[in-house]
Structure 1
């Protein structure tokens, strides 16, 4: 049995999958992201560990896909800047390939998640898609005519740093009023803490919506900012469907309902596109990374088998 690895390195959590080439998930795990001055040795060790684990389960790894946030030079696999990881000019693909025996390919985490949603999730078979992931930060995958848009510098989709509140609160990127300031997981937690002096996670803030006026105000600001960003994106891109992914989708209707209402209210002369929560949950980026590994290994044709109904579902955690 052959398999591929999918590794999704996030600002807070790193998620990993071992997927057989027929689409069966053999192993899934999540760990806190290890922040290091030089992350390459640690990531290489992770790939080696997952390769050994696959071998213990009777699978030979034929490729690995590693996806990260940030500004990525797709042709070389160099991460030019990833603010939530503290990386600049990191030769991710080349550095990993020097350290591990299996073929390695790299990519952008949200574009990989968009690939997975088109292949297996909420955007299956749709050619024009906007995927917005809301986690520690916010980014998007833009698919037009079935083709992922990367932009002239590889930075297409960095909607988290689009100013939605001109002159608003300062963002770590140096601009003011960025979407991430108000609507990312880190932004929601920070804004709640600034008002109350209490350090809660974004999930804990959402859990307090029924009893805490400050939580409701911070959350209303977040969903309003998201809806405003989607209004602009819809007018620019005209997606057939909008998919919301990332950790904050655990809020369910508390996220979906106000965002849908705000998007509809902001589009006065045209109907809004349907807005859905991810069909793959937090594993979308991992599954996309595994799909990239399949293609890199010359097994892209096998992905059609995944799309015909063998939807990879984790069989257990590490």
Structure 2
């Protein structure tokens, strides 16, 4: 069977798969990223893992992988195949596409993509947007931070400098009391509506340093007024940021994923209301939860790999 190699590199784990031509997960594996051993060890681990997957494919299907796709965090130049910078992995200017191509051998084409944009590609094409009018969609991941992906005609927009979709750094609050963001700005969306921001606000409200966003969501569902106040503040900030994005992009579908979206309707019911209250002339898009969970990154990396074969190119925008 024809297949491709897919790797989704995270801060703590690398998820990997062999993926068939109909996006079937033929084989899945996972191992620690090993960032505690330094960036060179992380890179070596990625290359070794890819080579092992290559051998697994050969032994199972009697042929090498047609191509490989890899999704990585941080700043990515997918035109040159360079992992430019990732704070949580400690690397800079790693020519990861070329390193993987050399390791896999045989002229195996390799695509490199940004993790959130790659996950958004999968959600838009074969996940939550699959059965919808999703030729234009916005995917937003609510995790430790907030990032997004802009889908147009089944592709993901990278932008002129690789930053398209960074909705987490839209400023939604101003003034001296606006929280400072790691990017250097103030009042950025992710300082108010990410899972990390909700966790911090809930910990302050309860006086429990171990309190987190999941616990806040549970308390909201149970009717705790303190939790409802914390949650609504985050929802209001998120709606403000999303309306900016919707006004600029006019998507048919807004797909929301990440850890905070696991709260289900505890998030989506007030969020849909808050967005609807804020729009005027704009068309309200469908606001739906992501469907692929933690397989989105691997499936998206697989799509990048298959796209290489359909475009006969080693450069794919995602």
Q: Into which bin does the TM-score normalised by the smaller protein fall?
A: 0.7 to 0.9
Would the alpha carbon gap of residues 27 and 145 (structure 1) be closer, same or farther in structure 2, given more than 3 Å must change?
closer
Match of 2:53 among 50, 54, 64: 50
CA distance in 1, matches of 2:25, 2:14: 17
Q: Which runs of 5+ in 1 are unaligned?
A: 302-318
C-alpha contact (below 8 Å) 2:202/2:212 kept by paired residues: no
1:178 aligns to what SS in structure 2? coil
TM-score, normalisation: structure 1: 0.83
2:162 aligns to what SS in structure 1? coil
Q: Paired residue for 1:135?
A: 143
Q: Compute the displacement of 1:233 (Å).
A: 0.7
Q: Compute the displacement of 1:15 (Å).
A: 2.7
Give RMSD over aligned pairs. Answer: 2.6
Q: Paired residue for 1:189?
A: 199
1:208 aligns to what SS in structure 2? helix
Q: Paired residue for 1:99?
A: 103
CA distance in 1, matches of 2:58, 2:218: 41
Is it true that 1:202 corresponds to 2:203 in the alignment? no
1:132 aligns to what SS in structure 2? strand
Q: Compute the displacement of 1:198 (Å).
A: 2.1
Match of 1:225 among 231, 237, 246: 237
1:199-224: per-residue Cα shift (whole Å, max 9, x none)?
24433443333265544333322222
C-alpha contact (below 8 Å) 2:76/2:114 kept by paired residues: yes
Q: Paired residue for 1:266?
A: 278
1:276-303: per-residue Cα shift (whole Å, max 9, x none)?
111322322221110111122x2569xx
Q: Which runs of 5+ in 2 are unaligned?
A: 313-318
C-alpha contact (below 8 Å) 2:5/2:68 kept by paired residues: yes
Is it true that 1:37 corresponds to 2:39 in the alignment? yes
C-alpha contact (below 8 Å) 1:134/1:248 kept by paired residues: yes
1:27 aligns to what SS in structure 2? strand
1:75 aligns to what SS in structure 2? coil
Q: Paired residue for 1:289?
A: 301
CA distance in 2, matches of 1:130, 1:159: 10
TM-score, normalisation: structure 2: 0.83
C-alpha contact (below 8 Å) 2:121/2:154 kept by paired residues: no
Number of aligned positions between the proteins: 300
Out of 203-212 and 134-143, give the one that drifted further: 203-212
Structure 2 counterparts to residues 158-173 of structure 1, below 5 A: 158-167=166-175, 168-173=178-183
Would the alpha carbon gap of residues 289 and 147 (structure 1) be closer, same or farther in structure 2, given more than 3 Å must change?
closer
Q: Paired residue for 2:190?
A: 180
2:134 aligns to what SS in structure 1? coil
